[in-house]
Amino acid sequence: MTNYNKQVTTSQREPELEQRIFSFKATQLIWLFLGVLEALLALRILLKLMGANAANPFAAFLYGLTYLFVYPFQGLIQTPQAEGMVLELSTIIAMMVYALVLWGFERLVWVIFYRPRTAPTAVTRTTTQDNRPQ
């Protein structure tokens, strides 16, 4: 007499899970880039407003790093100055423009790549094991 034990294993697979993970990670990278850029530009405004020494290595590094992002907006409006302190309004405008552009880009990536969650698909696998004594 043979003794067979039937074992049923059920697992669920969520369709397009990888697509949702990709779109989530891509949008998080965009927000990270925007956050770092906004923080650097805000630090530039703060240093200029406090009249930081431009010959200082940290200030020179920060000004050089953010110059690429501020350059398109320089000369757009006048920059108020008083006793070595500078209020870079063009940098504030740059921050607003970059925030708007990257927000729009993030929404575009989300719309193109995001797939809504659907009901999981059940996958049933049946295995038969022989439990006869040896």
Give a yes or no: residue 62 inside a domain.
yes
Work out the mean pLDDT of the chain and round it to a whole number: 84
pLDDT in tens, 53-93: 989 999 999 999 999 999 999 989 888 888 888 899 999 99
Beta bridge partners of 121: 13
The reply to whether the predicted model has a pTM over 0.75 is no
Q: pLDDT exceeding 70 applies to what percent of the chain?
A: 75
Give a yes or no: residue 27 inside a domain.
yes
Report the pLDDT value the prediction gives residue 81, as an integer from 0 to 100. Answer: 85
Beta bridge partners of 4: 130
Full domain range(s) for residue 78: 4-128
Instruction: Decide if 131 contacts 4 (C-beta within 8 A).
Output: yes
Give a yes or no: residue 133 inside a domain.
no
Which amino acid is residue 105, in one-letter code? F
pLDDT in tens, 12-29: 666 677 888 888 899 999
Report the pLDDT value the prediction gives residue 41, as an integer from 0 to 100. Answer: 97
Angle in degrees, 0-180, between the axes of helices 57-70 and 17-50, rounded to the nearest 10? 120
Comparing CA positions, the residue from 108, 129, 104 lying closest to residue 34 is 104
Comparing CA positions, the residue from 122, 124, 53 lying closest to residue 86 is 53
Report the pLDDT value the prediction gives residue 127, as an integer from 0 to 100. Answer: 59
Give a yes or no: residue 134 inside a domain.
no
Domain count, the chain: 1
Report which of residues 48 and 13 the model is more confident about: 48
Report the pLDDT value the prediction gives residue 50, as an integer from 0 to 100. Answer: 92
Cβ burial, residue 132 (10 Å; 0-12/13-18/19+): exposed
